Amino acid sequence: MIIDFHTHVFSPWVKKNRARYVEADPSFALLYSRKEATLATADELIASMDEDGVDMSVILNIGWTTHELCVETNDYILESIARYPDRLIGFAAVQPQSTEAAVAEVERCAKGGIKGIGELRPDMQLIDLGDTAVMEPFVEVLVKHKLILLTHSSEPVGHQYPGKGSVTPEILYYLIKSFPELTVVCAHWGGGLPFYALMPEVKKAMGNVFFDTAASPYLYHPQVYHQVSQLVGSDRILFGSDYPLLAQGRFLSEINSLDLPEEARSLILSGNACRLLDIRSKQQE
C-alpha cells in the first residue's frame, strides 16, 4: 500500500480563474502566480495516483490569508473526499486569527470528515505562534477532534525558491514545545529540524512530531532518508510528494532506488500514515 501524505488540489473554478485568486491572496500569489506553477484538480490527482500506483493521498489546502477563502476552498476538499472516500483524505485550511470563526470552521470540517489542518503557513498568514489568545483555542479544537496539524517548514540555509518562506526549525520547535499534546507533521523534512534531534532535549520534545518528504528531490540528497531514519526513526517519516509540484512516480522511483530496509520502506510509504490516519485495517488488506 502507498499513501501520499502531501498533495494539493484546487477546484476547476480556482484553476480557471487563477488570476482572480492571485490578486485576492498573497499566499496563493506567492505559490501560483507563475504560469508554470501547476494547479491540479482532485480528478487529475486520482489519474496520477492510478498511473503511479498510489492507493491513497492526503489532499491539503494552503495557508490562505482570509477566513472567507479558507471556507470557500475547504468546500472543494470536503466535496472531493466525499466523491473519493477510499482514495482521498482531506486536510482543511483555517486562518487562526479569525479566532471564533476559525474554531467554527474546524468544527464544520471535522463533521465533514477531514483528518487535519494544513498546510499551515504561519509566515504568510501572519500568525504569531506566541499569541495565546489565537493559538490556544485553535489547538484546543484540533486536539478535541484528534486532528493533525501539518505545517510548512523552511530551511534556514540553502537556495531560495518560490514559497520557501521563513518557518524555520526555531519557529517549529517553539510550536512543538508550546503544544506537546498536538500531533504535528512538519512538511519538507521540517526544514532540517530532525538534525537537531542530536540534542537530547529536542529529541524528547518531538515525541508527537512527524516529517513528510514533500519536494525532497529539490531540497536534499537521497541520503536524507537514511540520516533522518537514524536520527528520529523511520516511524516518523511520511512519504509526501507535493503533487503536482512533483510527479508521484518520480518520488517512488527515488525511494525504491534506495537500499532502505523493507520495514523502514513500508513505514515511510504507508505504515506511519495508516497509524496517524487510523486506517490500519486498510494497511492489512
Q: Which domain holds residue 269?
A: 3-284
More confident residue, 284 or 125: 125
Residues 192-228 as b/e (b if ≥16 CB within 10 A, e otherwise) read bbbbbbeeeebbebbeebbbbbbbbeebbeeebbbeb
Which grid coordinates belong to 67? 477566513
How far is residue 115's CA from residue 149's CA, in Å, rounded to a whole number?
9
Per-residue pLDDT reduced to its tens digit, 99-131? 999 999 999 999 999 999 999 999 999 999 999
Using the predicted structure, report yes or no on whether residue 136 has a pLDDT greater than 60.
yes
What average pLDDT does this structure show over 206-227? Answer: 96
Mean pLDDT of 35-47: 96
**What's this model's pTM, rounded to 2 decimal places?**
0.96
Write the DSSP symbol of residue 242.
Answer: -
pLDDT at 24: 97
- Assess whether the previous peptide bond of 244 is cis (omega < 30° from 0): yes
Work out the pLDDT band at 284, boundaries 50, 70, 90: very low
In this prediction, residue 283 has a pLDDT band, given cuts at 50, 70 and 90, of: very low
Give the CATH number of the domain where residue 51 resides: 3.20.20.140
| Residue pLDDT, tens place only, 139-151 | 999 999 999 999 9
Geometric angle at alpha carbon 112, from 110 and 117, rounded to 5°: 45
Q: Dihedrals φ, ψ of 114, to 5°? A: -70, 155
Task: Indicate the number of domains in the chain.
Answer: 1
**What does the block give as the cell for 205?**
520534545
How much is the average pLDDT of 60-88?
A: 98
Residue 26 cell numbers, joined: 498573497
pLDDT above 70 covers a percentage of the chain that reads 98
Please say whether the beta carbons of 101 and 70 come within 8 A: no
Residue 285 has pLDDT above 70, yes or no: no
Average pLDDT over residues 40-57: 98
